[in-house]
Amino acid sequence: MTQTTDFLAPARLGSLALPNRLVMAPMTRNRAEDDGTPSPLMVTYYAQRASAGLIIAEAATPNAVGQTYPNITAIHAPRHVTGWRQVTEAVRRAGGRMFLQLQHGGRVGHPATSGHTPVAPSPVPLPETIFTPEGHQQAVTPREMTTDDIRSTAADFASAARNAIEAGFEGVEVHSANGHLLHQFLSANTNRRTDAYGTERTRFTAEVVEAVAAAIGPERVGVRISPGVTVNGIEEGDAEEIYPPLVERLGTLGLAYLHIVYADPDSRLFRRIRAQWPGTLIANPVLKDFSAGEVRDGAERALAAGADLVALGRPFLANPDLVARLRTGAPLNPVRDRYLMYVGGAAGYTDYPALDELSEEPAQPSSDSIVAFDGERVT
């Protein structure tokens, strides 16, 4: 892409023409039906935000054992495809474009939620409680995956990717970040294997991505990574050694993009990855707050450091017309109480006003709304 710090400038992502360089990041918000089917409320939510250059829809599980929390989406059954198709058609009618993130939780799961014992690279439990339909419960020890499990899981990702294309998505994002299954294979404290998937910790992520690329074409596949992020009890220990070889291998596939979570444009590892990665790089910047000035500055810093597109999460959550607000210099809606993010219903989800429907008394942010990780759960 042509380097620019103008995040409102048009861009291309493979064959896709993007009207701007702002990407709506995937954000799990627990509004799906109990069986993982997207709800009508989700159709409204995503269509409201169709002015984003690209929407990466929230994590959808590729199989039943990969489910993390209650009321998250899935993409492994015909009903899921049908539900997601309603979302993609609504977004397309509103002028938008969508990828779907594919996420297997690994040890971030519970039998009370999925009906299955979680699987992981090694039998190392999540060091904290986990939210289930019965409230917070102690995490269980996951079952160590066999070689057959590993192969069948890669095949499940590939099948889920085909389902996503059938549901109308332009492509998929393989989630290898934030402490979920693929990230667990990358991390020293969760991958204690002595076989090839332990001695070469990047192997599983690479094989999953290769399987997905073979299923739907590499130009439809993105990958999300989070070097150094410790959420969900992850301790990589050697991010500077893990990620460059992974990026080098993935860089030979002709993928749509690489997406870095909490990207620090001043870090040596970010600069190294940017130099290595031959294609489109999406940066998800760390923001001190969610004011218009900080969002604008964060986006410009990321682009100046070599990112091609900028992914934003909660600014898009609170501002369905974020692009218009940044274009006109209008103030942004504050992010409301973080607990509204996960409790279901329209509050804190589809009821954020656009510029032309602002109430006289806009909602105020909670004191801790900007520090809540997306993975925090509430009863």
Residue-wise pLDDT for 33-46, tens only, equals 999 999 999 999 99
Q: pLDDT tens across 282-328, in order?
A: 999 999 999 999 999 999 999 999 999 999 999 999 999 999 999 99
Q: What angle do CA 68, 73, 295 make, to 5 degrees?
A: 90
Helix (H) or strand (E) holding 274: helix 268-276
Helix axes 40-48, 78-93, angle to 10 degrees: 30
pLDDT bin (cut points 50, 70, 90) of residue 378 is very low
Name residue 36's amino acid.
Answer: G
How far apart (Å, rounded) are the C-alpha atoms in residues 178 and 100?
Answer: 17
What confidence tens digit (pLDDT) does each residue in 44-81 have? Answer: 999 999 999 999 999 999 999 999 999 999 999 999 99
Residue 151: CB partners within 8 Å, gap ≥ 6?
none
For the chain, percent of residues with pLDDT exceeding 90: 89
**pTM: predicted TM-score of the whole model, two decimal places:** 0.93
pLDDT at 231 over 90: yes
CA atoms of 339 and 341, how far apart (whole Å): 5
309 vs 222: CA distance, rounded Å? 13
Which helix (H) or strand (E) segment holds residue 11: the answer is strand 11-13
- Mean pLDDT over each residue of the chain, to the nearest integer: 93
